[in-house]
Amino acid sequence: MAGHERRALFSRAAMVMGFAGKASVDLQVNSMRRILKLSFVSLLSSLYRATSGLRRDLQRIKSHAALSSSLAGPLDASVVVLGPLEVHGTGRIRFGRDALLYPALYLETEESGSIEIGDGAVLSRGVHIAARAGIRIGAGTMIGEYSSIRDANHVRVPGLAIRDSGYVALPIAIGNEVWIGRGVTVLGGVTIGDGATVGANAVVTHDVPAGVTVVGVPACAVGAKKTR
């Protein structure tokens, strides 16, 4: 074998060994990274588990204080606020004792509107309540996730954009121990009687008598025929 062929062979062998060595080093580095990651994850997981109760309590205290600062009146210490929520407008909102508020609520009062939440009521995550006339929710009532309760509707005025045409606002009254399912819409002027049930995703456009279950769009009593 000629000298230049031997040198080329040795050069290729050295390159192969170099690549192999680099690959080995990379594998070792990646292995060390995984070990360090698992160690930190284990440490942080233990820390989170050990402090979960404290962090939960601090979150609730912080959320309670933030809500209290947004209201026109006092907020009872018994009200449980599980996480951050939004308050807009005048802050004319009153919560009864032991109300339970999930995170991501949207509460708005404008003009002469106010919102009254009864003792022990539950507002689930993402519930929207907006009042221009007045909304009252009775004691023990439960409102499911992402439901919308708004007492005002836009009106149309010829020659004006909808956003400039104003509103028609009619008060909403929801009784005691009412169960409103997920994604329900309650429109202005509606009264829902004590102990009524509203099925998920229903749109409530008319009064619901006490103890009656309604479902659908528009909401009708179970077993009743819809009129078009």
Q: What percent of the chain has pLDDT over 70?
A: 86
Do both 124 and 145 map to the same domain?
Answer: yes
| Tens digits of residue pLDDT in 171-200 | 999 999 999 999 999 999 999 999 999 999
| Tens digits of residue pLDDT in 125-172 | 999 999 999 999 999 999 999 999 999 999 999 999 998 888 899 999
Do both 112 and 201 map to the same domain?
Answer: yes
Task: Give the position of tokens 């836009």.
Answer: 154
Q: Domain count of the chain?
A: 2
Please indicate, yes or no, if residue 121 is contained in any of the structural domains. yes
Do both 152 and 84 map to the same domain?
Answer: yes
Please indicate, yes or no, if residue 226 is contained in any of the structural domains. no
pLDDT at 228: 47
Do both 154 and 215 map to the same domain?
Answer: yes
Do both 165 and 77 map to the same domain?
Answer: yes
Cα–Cα nearest to 89, from 104, 72, 64, 66 = 72
Task: Give the position of tokens 């009412």.
Answer: 178
pLDDT at 22: 60
Spatial distance between the Cα atoms of 97 and 61, rounded to a whole number of angstroms: 16
Q: Flag the least confident range among 24-38, 41-55, 67-81.
A: 24-38
Please indicate, yes or no, if residue 129 is contained in any of the structural domains. yes
Please indicate, yes or no, if residue 41 is contained in any of the structural domains. yes
Please indicate, yes or no, if residue 91 is contained in any of the structural domains. yes
Read off the pTM. Answer: 0.79
Range of the domain at 21: 1-46
Please indicate, yes or no, if residue 227 is contained in any of the structural domains. no
Residue 97 has pLDDT above 90, yes or no: yes
Do both 97 and 136 map to the same domain?
Answer: yes
Do both 194 and 81 map to the same domain?
Answer: yes
Do both 136 and 79 map to the same domain?
Answer: yes
pLDDT at 29: 75
Show the tokens assigned to 4: 């230049």
Question: Residue 29 in 3-state DSSP?
Answer: helix
Cα–Cα nearest to 204, from 177, 175, 172 = 172
Do both 35 and 140 map to the same domain?
Answer: no
pLDDT at 44: 84
Average pLDDT over residues 204-217: 97
Spatial distance between the Cα atoms of 221 and 113, rounded to a whole number of angstroms: 29
Residue 103 has pLDDT above 50, yes or no: yes
DSSP 8-state assignment for residue 155: -
pLDDT at 56: 87
Do both 68 and 15 map to the same domain?
Answer: no
Do both 147 and 191 map to the same domain?
Answer: yes
Do both 109 and 207 map to the same domain?
Answer: yes
pLDDT at 42: 86
